[in-house]
Amino acid sequence: MPDKLHLAHKPTPLWHHPRLDEIAGTEVWVKRDDMTGGAEAGNKLRKLEYLVAEALNRGARALITCGAAQSNHARATALTARRFGLECVVFLRTRDAAHEPNTGNLRLIRMCGARIEFVNHAQYADRDQLMQREAERLAAEGNPAYVIPEGGSSGLGCLGYVDAVAEIAEQQRLGLCPDGFDAVVCACGSGGTAAGLVLGAGRFGVAQTVQAIAVCDDAAYFQTTIERVLLEAQRLMPELTARAPLHVVDRHKGPAYGVMSEQQQAFMTRVAQQTGLVLDPTYSGKALYGLSQLGVGRALFIHTGGLPGLLA
């Protein structure tokens, strides 16, 4: 059993609103993982519980990770690094570093003093090598570093979402939400959350299927990526043998990464106006919109956070 820190504020609430059921066209329970913390909140914090534990066990003095310029993951990692007195280097993908506004996630990453290395899209394609080289450079200077892959989506990181499903099973036992969801639905950006849900739902039986709503790439890409993460996780925890069926839905990516269609935008606004639930334009807004189009029965929606992205 890998070591784990306690970073997230758990259990996160289960939230239900009759108006949301009407808007989504089905009964929806929302697992409020947008409330795992303060400025560091969101789904990445559950993954970081395992990843930063390993980093500290290995004597790391710095964390290295990567993401888009408005990466929630880079922000959560940078803040968590500071909490433990670690340095942090983030490789951020941009088309134009000079014009990235100092808002949202980027502002928080800067504010906590992480070192930002902007890279273009072509360089970002080699992110794993970039991070590895940076780790070697830091190690040579006497600063051992720990590399966290994009989105924290390794076998180790995804165990945070196996734990999230165990937490939901316990909430069901306490009568805080109904038993037996037809689907658990999440936004899918690097695949680790979906992978953890597949193993968690396989083990704890909270939902029949996992529906991962892609916000980038496509279904074939995520099937491969998630399979790799699943195998890694099963090597770490061989008792995680069962898997819930996974469906990757890539019809709701919208016009571009971080850009919503008019319909998606209107949906997100309607949810805020009629229920007070705030989603984000890159992940949770597209995913809940996707849920409303799925035609599934009673659904459990993982609200993965992303508020700073909305404010950017």
Ligand X SMILES: *Cc1c(COP(=O)(O)O)cnc(C)c1O
Q: Closer to ligand X by CB, 60 or 226: give it.
A: 226
Q: Which is nearer to ligand X, 104 or 151 (CB)?
A: 151
Q: What is the DSSP string of 19-34?
A: HHHHHHTS-EEEEEGG
| Sheet of 115-119, strands arranged across | 115-119, 87-93, 62-68, 145-147
Burial class of residue 59 in the structure, from the number of CB atoms within 10 Å of its CB (0-12 exposed, 13-18 middle, 19+ buried): exposed
Distance separating alpha carbons of residues 163 and 195, to the nearest angstrom = 12
Could you give the CA distance from residue 186 to residue 237 in angstroms, rounded to a whole number?
Answer: 23
- For ligand X, give the closer residue by CB, 152 or 202: 152
Contact 47, 160 (CB under 8 A): yes
- Overall residue count recorded for the chain in this entry: 312
Question: Shortest distance, CB of residue 194 to ligand X, whole angstroms?
Answer: 6
- Shortest distance (Å) from residue 217 CB to ligand X: 10
**Shortest distance (Å) from residue 108 CB to ligand X:** 13
In the set 71, 153, 154, 284, the catalytic residue is 71
CA pair distance 136, 95, nearest whole angstrom: 27
Q: How is residue 186 written in tokens?
A: 């999440």
Amino acid identity of residue 43, one-letter, is N
CB 36, CB 10: distance < 8 Å: yes
In whole angstroms, the minimum distance from the beta carbon of 153 to ligand X comes to: 5
Phi, psi of 16 (to 5 degrees): -140, 140
Minimum separation from the CB atom of position 287 to ligand X (A): 7
Beta-bridge mates of residue 65: 90
Closest contact distance (angstroms) between CB of 7 and ligand X is 15
Element (H, E) at 115: strand 115-119
- Residue 198 and residue 161 in contact, taking contact as beta carbons nearer than 8 Å: no
Residue number with CB closer to ligand X (192 or 200): 192
Please confirm, yes or no, whether 284 is among the known catalytic residues.
no
- Pick 53 or 278: Cβ nearer ligand X: 278
- Nearer Cβ to ligand X (187/233): 187
Closest CA to 104 of 138, 80, 69: 69
Q: Which is nearer to ligand X, 104 or 202 (CB)?
A: 104
Where does this chain bind ligand X (CB under 6 A)?
A: 42-44, 72-73, 151, 153, 187-194, 280, 283-284, 304-306
**What distance lies between CA 92 and its chain's CA centroid?**
17
Indicate the SS3 state at residue 9.
coil
Q: How far is the CB of 305 from ligand X (least distance, A)?
A: 4
Catalytic site positions: 71
